[in-house]
Amino acid sequence: MAKLGDLCAAIGGKLVGPGATEIRGVASLEDAARGDVAPVDSDKFLAAARASKASAFVVSTKVDAGFRRPYVRVDHPLVAVNRIIELLGLTRPRPAPGIHPTAVVDPTARVHAEASIGPYCVVGPGATVGRGSALLSHVSIERGVVVGEECELAQGAVLHEGTRLGHRVKLGAHAVVGRPGFGYAAGPTGPVHIHHIGTVVLEDDVHVGAGTAIDRARYGVTRIARHAKIDNLVQIAHNCTVGERSFVSAQTGMAGSSQLGSDCLVGGQVGIGDHVRVGNRCGVGAQSGLTTHFPDGVDIFGYPAQEKRVAFREIVALHRLGRRTRVRGRGRREDRDAP
């Protein structure tokens, strides 16, 4: 439990109301009870805030309304609430440093004294695990893999040879990084799997969800740039790139050598074809299929995907066409809207 005034000082906000209000938890406006603080990051939540039982609020500076209960004004309320959760000790504690007795660590591996290697993990020859990083359990990292500082690899994650993680990278359960890509060539007796001798680089602050696969490059590098966030069940093929601060939603697939720029938002179940290039600051609607390149700053939608405004005009036109029917009247044919 902490006092609101102390929390306000820690997050750099502006306190309105008594700072002695005691806070023990964080909750949504609907679920909050006495002792909880709740975020209000938009005017559309004002009615819910007035009905909420929260003891205090964290309010965006863009929200212009008074509250009868104490509140803290900040520029980024959701980030501030995130910090309050940490200050109240509501997050899962990091594992203690050390190597679990059931873990298998090659003698040539370099594991920092402040790293944590959990139960049944395997750390291969020449691999590196940096300061403060944690392999939770059943994690396997192969020969020469580099894991930077303050990383967290969840249960069952696999890093194949040739993978390099920057600092503060997070991998979800059963994520697989660095497996040889899906490449075959016709041979005299059938398909031959093409060797992939490149690498995978996940730069600083990349987050990868559970069950996601990121393949090793055929030659060169498959690269996920800093601060990119990859959801659960995403497939990123060999030699792909994902730009800085881009978000890729669940069940999206990027085919070999496709490129996604920086600051992009990709919806769920999107397919990006091989060698397709998407520029910076693009938004891609859910279930879109991209078969051609797109420049910077474009909203993309549909299959085959095109600029969203064009796609929506075509959808409206098709909808209208589907409603029209031919009728015969007064000896001539005419079109009219069907009832």
Q: Which two tokens stand for residue 126?
A: 């020449």
Sign of CA dihedral 40, 44, 46, 52: negative
Q: For this structure, is 238 an active site residue? A: yes
| Residue whose structure tokens are 């966030």 | 229
Contact criterion met (CB below 8 Å) for 150 and 170 = no
Rounded Cα distance between 138 and 154, Å, is 9
Q: Where are the beta strands (DSSP E) in 19-70?
A: 22-23, 25-26, 36-40, 56-60
How far does CA 221 lie from the centroid of its chain? Answer: 21
Whole-angstrom distance, CA of residue 199 vs CA of residue 217: 6
DSSP state letter for 95: P
User: How many angstroms separate the CA atoms of 257 and 278, rounded?
Assistant: 12
- 138, 207, 227, 238: the active-site residue: 238
d(CA 86, CA 31): 19
Residue positions annotated with a catalytic role? 238
